[in-house]
Structure 1
Amino acid sequence: MGVEEYYRQHAQDYENPHEEFIHHHLKFRIKEFEDKSILDLCCGGGEVTKFLTDRKITDVEGCDPFTHDVYVENTNLPCHKFDFKHLATKGLDKQYDVIICSFAMHLCPDSMLHNVLYNLSVSCDTLLIITPNKKPFIDDSSFTFENEVIYNRVYSRLYTSQFAKRRE
């Protein structure tokens, strides 16, 4: 069916079946997000955002080309409609301290991954990827690997943008 067709059919009733694992990874890292502006990239129904806002982290926006209406309905927060193609060619129009991408970056086509990562790196200081497998493997000059946590075969990898120190 493919990603686009799946979300065309199921966007309104989408629920992330891995929410428990996502929350575990976010609990481990919650101190790193306090007083930060955050983009919940590929935000689905807002599971990451709701976890953060329940813990008084309020400077959060979403981005999802398929579930943006569900995100806004669930969170009452703004949501961009950018897809990987847009991120690869145009990037983001705003700076964030942290971008969190949960259960989606592994779906980015390999042909776009380098450009997506570069464009994200100029728009954030920190990137957190939560993924159900070892993909994507980022050995890209746009980000520096900081650390990894594995819980129940779900990985969270924290990266620092190559541009972060230049913005300080």
Structure 2
Amino acid sequence: MKLLMFSFSLLCIFCVISCSQQTIKSQSNEDTIIKKDQKTIPVQLDGRIIESISISEIGKVNSDEEDPYIVYSQEEIETISTFAEMVKRGERIKGVVDVLKSDYAVTFMFQDKSTSKYYMNLGEDEGSIMNQNDSSTVYIIPEDLILSLNQLVLPNNEQVAL
């Protein structure tokens, strides 16, 4: 009887150990799945994957563009998304517009090695963009992006109260 009881106890201990190891394996698999699910999805603009964005200041005219002072990489997904949203959600101003000077040049570099450049004017409460290839059309930047964009174009992301 004691032998039977001892065998039963050992069987129970093995079951408990086996179950707890299975739980650990399950948790490990779930962590792996979560990590896979957290994989960042590249941001696209006009059907192309954005690899990086560079910001340059403009001199007296749009053709007087300085070297980029900020470059955001694909890993900075929230920042890349903000600039992509600026272009995607910009509201076209009707009519033909003549812009002599902008504040910034925002250059999108894509995975296929192509580029798109937008000239951006940015104030505390409003902003506009213009595609380099269509200088007679201006788009108003959505109001909810203005504060973020102002922070993102500052050298070294200096924080200021706007």
Q: Is TM-score (shorter-chain normalized) higher than 0.5?
A: no
Question: Which TM-score applies when normalising by structure 2?
Answer: 0.29
Question: Which TM-score applies when normalising by structure 1?
Answer: 0.28
